[in-house]
Amino acid sequence: MAILLGSIADDYTGASDLANTLTKNGLRTVQTVGIPDPSLALPDVDAVVVSLKIRSVPASDAVAAAASAERWLRQRGAGHVLYKICSTFDSTDAGNIGPVTEALSDAAGGGVVLVTPAFPETGRTVYLGHLFVGGQPLNESPLKDHPLNPMHDANLVRVLTRQSRNAVGLVDLTTIAAGPGAVKARLDAFRTAGITAVIADAIFERDLETLGEVALETPVSTGASGLGLGLARALVRSGRISSGGATTTDAIRPVGGLSAVVAGSCSKATLHQLDIAERSMPVLRLDPEQLLAGPDEIAAAISWAGDRISAGPVVIAASAAPETVSRLQLLYGREASGHAIETATSIITAELVERGVRRLVVAGGETSGAAVDRLAIPAFLIGPEIAPGVPVLRTVGNAQGDMLLALKSGNFGGDDFFTAALAMMH
């Protein structure tokens, strides 16, 4: 299998978001969970998205994992590797966007890396280096209250500089509007000045098409699904995609079994979707303090689900409002509480699958990563889109048999996302 485009995603929901965008824009795409075992039979594809869980781990761990994935992708022919980050630039001053971008650039022999989290379809735009989320500057958006990576600065040149060894530049919208030639000239000037990463503005898809065309001629880029769109369209325009496009129908053949939703995302969108789900499905709100206190809350949740699940889908959520999250974090620490809750939700997920769940929605990137790892799912085929950034996924090589999943990024999906997702999985 020779691949044209490789990607390393820093979380699993982000990986499925990107795989969805690449598929929609004409690339046959598979999402692997980590570097796949050589024995795993993968379909013939144009693009592979390797999902890692490296958004909120120590920078050195993130760099090591990304470097291995990059080697694997290059050995399979990838001429360009996109490091898929969150469209809201989720990170801290310790990383991991800067350190991983620099390491991937070094591995590819240096050069300037284009960096942009813009994803206009979901309201993420970048202007003069400032990230807007649905019309609000990043630092005024709900991301200011993120449980793991609270974002307090919308100026991405500043944010990335704090995470990087080298200086960071800006390719502004005026340059991008002047076309690929103008962007390349700007990158050459940055290279001469010793700059190795540049934030690129992008408001419309046409900006990302320009950036994709330029990025494709370089070995590495860093961005969200918008840059994926630009790269995919540039590849298709280059005539190098011979497959005649991607199909998603195979991915949604019915799997039967029971269905459930597990949520650990505390985003404003997820909290609202849970309120709406309560109108049509049984919803169990876990007590986070009890989850941290011992296994009883997990056992109670499994028993609660067992009493209801044969009658229809159930929802189990650790998600809580920012005040509750802050209180827990004050008591137990930010990382420790996040990690403990991910472990608890992943155990609950595995128990549900043990009891026959085959159609599963998980809300939250870290939450999804922990759940998919516990289930030991090796890879996914990409099915149709449920909402921008969230496709139906079909497992490949799964020990429990075929399953359909949706891994929902915290901020994605409409009000009725959970019912809409389950309605597409049979």
Ligand X SMILES: Nc1ncnc2c1ncn2[C@@H]1O[C@H](COP(=O)(O)OP(=O)(O)OP(=O)(O)O)[C@@H](O)[C@H]1O
With CB atoms as reference, the residue minimizing the distance to ligand X is 410
Min. distance of Cβ 383 from ligand LCNOYBR7 in angstroms? 17
Q: Can residue 342 be called a binding residue for ligand X (CB under 6 A)? A: yes
How is residue 97 written in tokens? 């966007």
> Which residues are 137's β-sheet partners?
132
Q: Record the tokens describing residue 51, joined without a space.
A: 């999902």
Select from 52, 224, 344, 393 the one that contacts ligand LCNOYBR7 (CB under 6 A): 224
Q: How far is the CB of 385 from ligand LCNOYBR7 (least distance, A)?
A: 13
**Does residue number 411 form part of the binding site for ligand X (CB under 6 A)?**
yes
Give the strand pairing for 357-363 and 404-408: parallel
When asked if residue 383 is in the footprint of ligand X (CB under 6 A), the reply is no
DSSP 347-401: HHHHHHHHTTEEEEEEESHHHHHHHHHHHT--EEEEEEEEETTEEEEEEES-TT-
Binding mask 99-138 for ligand LCNOYBR7 (x = CB under 6 A): --------------------x-------------------
What are the DSSP calls for 161-199, one per residue?
Answer: HHH-SS-EEEE-HHHHHT-HHHHHHHHHHHHHTT--EEE
Question: C-beta of 84: minimal distance to ligand X in Å?
Answer: 12
Contact 229, 84 (CB under 8 A): no
- Of residues 26, 389, 391, 413, which one binds ligand LCNOYBR7 by CB under 6 A? 389
Q: 283 has which bridge partners?
A: 315
Residue 11 or 213: the one with the smaller Cβ distance to ligand X is: 11
Centroid of chain to Cα 341: 19
**What is the separation, in whole angstroms, between the first and last Cα of the chain?**
31
Q: Which does 389 bind (CB under 5 to 8 A by kind): ligand LCNOYBR7, ligand X, none?
A: ligand LCNOYBR7
If the CB atoms of residues 116 and 319 are measured against ligand X, the closer one turns out to be 319
Q: Does 117 bind ligand X (CB under 6 A)?
A: no
Give the Cα separation of 292 and 340 in Å (integer).
7
Residue 131's beta-bridge partner residues? 126
Piece of 110-118, 173-181, 264-272, 417-425 that binds ligand X (CB under 6 A): 264-272
Q: Which of 186, 318, 409, 425 is the binder for ligand LCNOYBR7 (CB under 6 A)? A: 409
Are 244 and 25 in contact, with CB atoms under 8 Å apart?
no
CA-CA-CA-CA torsion for 55, 60, 61, 65, nearest 10 degrees? 90
As given in the structure block, the two tokens for residue 156 are: 């991405």
Q: What secondary structure letter does DSSP report for 52?
A: -
Give the C-alpha separation, 269 to 333, whole Å. Answer: 24
The strand pairing partners of 54, in sequence order, are: none
- What track of x and - describes contact with ligand X for positions 219 through 258 (by CB under 6 A)? ----------------------------------------
Torsion angles phi and psi, residue 231, rounded to 5: -65, -45
Q: Would you give the binding string for ligand LCNOYBR7 spanning residues 174-203, x where CB under 6 A is met?
A: ------------------------------
Sequence letter at residue 165: R
Q: Is 328 in the site for ligand X (CB under 6 A)?
A: yes
Q: Compute how many residues bind ligand LCNOYBR7; rule: CB under 6 A.
A: 13
Nearer to ligand X, 11 or 201 (CB): 11
Per-residue contact string for residues 281-300; x = within reach of ligand X by CB under 6 A:
-------x------------
- 151 near ligand X, rule: CB under 6 A: no
Site for ligand LCNOYBR7 in 47-86 (CB under 6 A): 86
Strands 29-33 and 379-387: antiparallel
Query: Which tokens go with 76?
Result: 């399979």
Q: What residue ranges bind ligand LCNOYBR7 (CB under 6 A)?
A: 11, 13-14, 17, 86-88, 119, 224-225, 365, 389, 409
By CB under 6 A, name the binding residues for ligand X: 11, 13, 146-148, 264-267, 270, 288, 318-320, 324-325, 328, 337-338, 341-342, 364-367, 409-411
